[in-house]
Amino acid sequence: MDHEIDKYNKLLVNIKSSLENLKLGIQGTISMSALSDELLVALFLNKVPRQWELIGYSSTKPLSTWYNDLKARVEYISNWVVSGHPYVHWISGLFYPKGFITGVLQNHARETKI
């Protein structure tokens, strides 16, 4: 679970900082970098920016749908942290579902001493 939280936090920090830099670049406070220019073009075209794709989860969705999906994923993880272990898991909402399933199997094996 901690791994998933770290991955989402890294993605959210990257999104926030890149958008803040883009805002400053548009305002003329700082010069526009190549990354900020790429970000602006991607936002205009409703595409997930490459710098977010590189550290994000795999998706073929356009930016608007990807963003809604990201909000749902973060809410799922937040509810898990706040409310405890859910009874049903959104496997595809995780960065690394195979690692999660392996962890569930290991926990079950420990509990049942198999």
pLDDT higher than 90, residue 101: no
Check: CB of residue 101 under 8 Å from CB of residue 91: yes
Please, are residues 95 and 56 in contact by the beta-carbon 8 Å criterion?
no
pLDDT at 20 over 80: yes
Residue 104 to residue 86: CA distance in whole angstroms: 13
pLDDT tens-digit series, residues 47-99:
999 999 999 988 899 999 999 999 999 999 999 899 988 888 888 888 888 88
Q: Provide the whole-model pTM.
A: 0.83
